Structure 1
Amino acid sequence: MNVFFNALVPVVLLITLGHLFRRWNFPGPEFWPQAERFTYYVLFPAMLVYKLGQAHMAPSVYADVAVLVGATLASMTLILAIIQRFWRWSGSVFSSVFQGATRFNSYVALAAGGMLLGDEGLALTAIVVAIMVPMLNLLCIVMFSLTTAGQRIQFLPVLRMIITNPLIVGSLLGITWSYFELGFHPLLAGTLGPLSSLALPMGLMTVGAGLQLNVLRGASMLFVTSSILKLLVMPVIAAGIGYVLGFELLLVQVMILLAALPTATSAYILARQLGGDAPLMAGIISGQTLLAVVTIPLMLSLLW
């Protein structure tokens, strides 16, 4: 347990620091939205290209990742469908609970993957992110279309958002770079290296700056249900599938980590865009981020 706390404490401190800076209005009201954009469009793609471009993964790894991710998401979807059959939430509510119970924060994933598992773990985490994010987004679109009656879903804008996601683009470019063994010219490495070093701390601070703690007042059973499924049930399912099917230990560890993470901040944008319950989604995002400080070390110590 101490190993996990020691590795994850810097993650928590950076998130807390970002939240405090925003509350103190430092360095200014316009800084954090622009910092988030810069991190999303520049720093993280640069890090993914640089780290993945230096990694050398066997082709079978990608197939293993796809199978493990697909089986885990299918299991979670089945559980949520059974719960919905009994509780019969509205479509907008269920779609937000579904996102909260299945999606994960990519910034925290990459930061924690690197701190806990080193460069090889970071590279594998990036590959899982590159495969899992499109799967999750497409799955969420399907769930929105099936459960939100009378709401016309605009598929093309969302699909465009998935295809142009900088994290996915950066991951695919890095994987291609590695596959063709292009290497990095010293000038290119000298540029991407410092940008990569900035990505994780800036990304975590922008996560903290985006927390909306005021929405946690009067947390509902919907929030509790979504959080239990995401922070406790999903990592157990990922571990069970990974260990039973005999996947490589590092891959199983990465999948457990991602399954144990709080839901993605971008889930709020998707909820607004597709007619979900946006206020509920905001509460789930912020609440899970706080709960994960306790649940992540617990789940990793039990399942790793």
Structure 2
Amino acid sequence: MDLVAHLYAALNVTLPLLLILLAGIVFRRIRLVDEHFVATGNRLVFKVALPCLLFLSVAGRSTGESINVTLVVFGLVATLLSVLLVWWIAPFIVDKPKRGVFTHIAFRGNMGIIGLALCVNAFGDDIIAMAAVYLAFVTVLYNVSAVLLLSNSRSMLLINLVKNPLIVAILLGGLWSYWQVPLPDIVNLSLGYLAQLTLPLALVCIGASLEWQSLKANHKQALAAVSLKLVILPTVIVVCAILFGIEGDALGVLFLMMATPTAAAAYVMSHQMTPYGNLAAEVITLSTLLSPISVTLGLVVLNYMSLI
């Protein structure tokens, strides 16, 4: 397979997602959707559609098939070290009051929506279980880190984690898989219909929620965060993973999860807990639009080197 073929295969993974994102932008501009639709759609994805997808993905496979211990442990350690690294360099880029927000938006990726979509497009439906278990563990670390970075209060940390619908869905799916209880066909089909809403609705909402007006004020800080999120951190982590012996589908999942654009949840938390929500919105905008390029190049390199 030559370089052109690798490029074509990688673009097949990323371009469909970009086109749906662009459709969301167009729908917003022609007023086919509005802010209320975006807010409602995001809640529907986060609280219903995506949890259904994750539950079915984990519950439908054996526990041993779903868990790649090496991948999960490496991902957790890599995420934690990424947080510490960005926290350390942040004062050289932003003012001290923005340190927590900058760290948050530079490491927190949109794994639950774009990450899973990339994994499925690249490796097929069979990869969902591995990616979902990875997502479950790293999501816990994401939320713990976010609360620690953005707030001085720790009292609500455990409650927020327990109430997270993604974590709850994956834990329930894991228990269901462990007990080996078959899902009734009616339940399986009904949850499947809801799960199918996840990708198109989420991507349309992300595209429709992109904001351009605030990019001028903090564009240097935003570009620094995007560079860390899309290029520097994924590159360092993947190189370390290769040296550690991770390869094949596990390496592909690790790269695609680490290379995802900044999650929309980062804006919600930053906006609610700090006065610097605009910086988060800028980084989400830029990283979402640029990620197809960085992900495509990364897939081309990994495929060309026969690592995935």
* Superposition TM-score, scaled by structure 1 size: 0.89
Give the conservation status (yes or no) of the 8 Å contact 2:131–2:253.
yes
Alignment map for 1:177-216 (pairs within 5 Å): 177-216=176-215
Percent identical residues: 25
Aligned pair in 2 of structure 1 residues 60, 116: CA closer, same or farther (>3 Å)?
closer
Aligned pair in 2 of structure 1 residues 179, 91: CA closer, same or farther (>3 Å)?
farther
Give the conservation status (yes or no) of the 8 Å contact 1:213–1:287.
no
Which residue matches 1:290?
289
Which amino acid letter does the alignment assign opposite residue 32 of structure 2?
F
Which residue matches 1:96?
101
Aligned partners of 2:41 and 2:142: how far apart in 1?
26
Give the conservation status (yes or no) of the 8 Å contact 2:51–2:165.
yes
Which amino acid letter does the alignment assign opposite residue 97 of structure 1?
F
Shift of residue 219, structure 1, vs aligned partner: 4.7
Which amino acid letter does the alignment assign opposite residue 165 of structure 1?
N
Aligned pair in 2 of structure 1 residues 70, 22: CA closer, same or farther (>3 Å)?
same
Aligned partners of 1:275 and 1:127: how far apart in 2?
31
TM-superposition CA deviations, 1:152-188 (whole Å, max 9, x none): x232345433321111111111222222221221111
Which residue matches 1:241?
240
Which amino acid letter does the alignment assign opposite residue 70 of structure 1?
L
**Which sections of structure 1, spanning at least 5 residues, go unmatched?**
146-152
Q: Which moved more, 1:135-144 or 1:92-101?
A: 135-144
* Superposition TM-score, scaled by structure 2 size: 0.88
Which residue matches 2:220?
221
Aligned partners of 1:247 and 1:57: how far apart in 2?
20
Aligned partners of 1:291 and 1:35: how far apart in 2?
23
In angstroms, what is the RMSD of aligned CA positions? 2.2
Aligned partners of 2:247 and 2:58: how far apart in 1?
19
Pick from 36, 39, 44: which aligns with 2:42? 36
Aligned partners of 2:35 and 2:158: how far apart in 1?
31
Which residue matches 1:125?
131
Which amino acid letter does the alignment assign opposite residue 17 of structure 2?
V
Q: Which moved more, 1:222-231 or 1:276-285?
A: 276-285
Which residue matches 1:149?
none
Which residue matches 2:159?
160
Give the conservation status (yes or no) of the 8 Å contact 1:53–1:178.
yes
Give the conservation status (yes or no) of the 8 Å contact 2:87–2:103.
no
Aligned partners of 2:191 and 2:66: how far apart in 1?
28
Shift of residue 43, structure 1, vs aligned partner: 1.0
Which amino acid letter does the alignment assign opposite residue 256 of structure 1?
F
Give the conservation status (yes or no) of the 8 Å contact 1:75–1:237.
no
**Which sections of structure 2, spanning at least 5 residues, go unmatched?**
1-6, 303-307
Give the conservation status (yes or no) of the 8 Å contact 1:99–1:267.
yes
Q: Which moved more, 1:282-291 or 1:214-223?
A: 214-223
1:14 and 2:14 are equivalent in the alignment: no
Aligned pair in 2 of structure 1 residues 104, 298: CA closer, same or farther (>3 Å)?
same
Aligned length: 296
Aligned partners of 1:89 and 1:174: how far apart in 2?
41
Tell me, what secondary structure is at the counterpart of 2:124? Answer: helix
Aligned partners of 1:251 and 1:228: how far apart in 2?
24
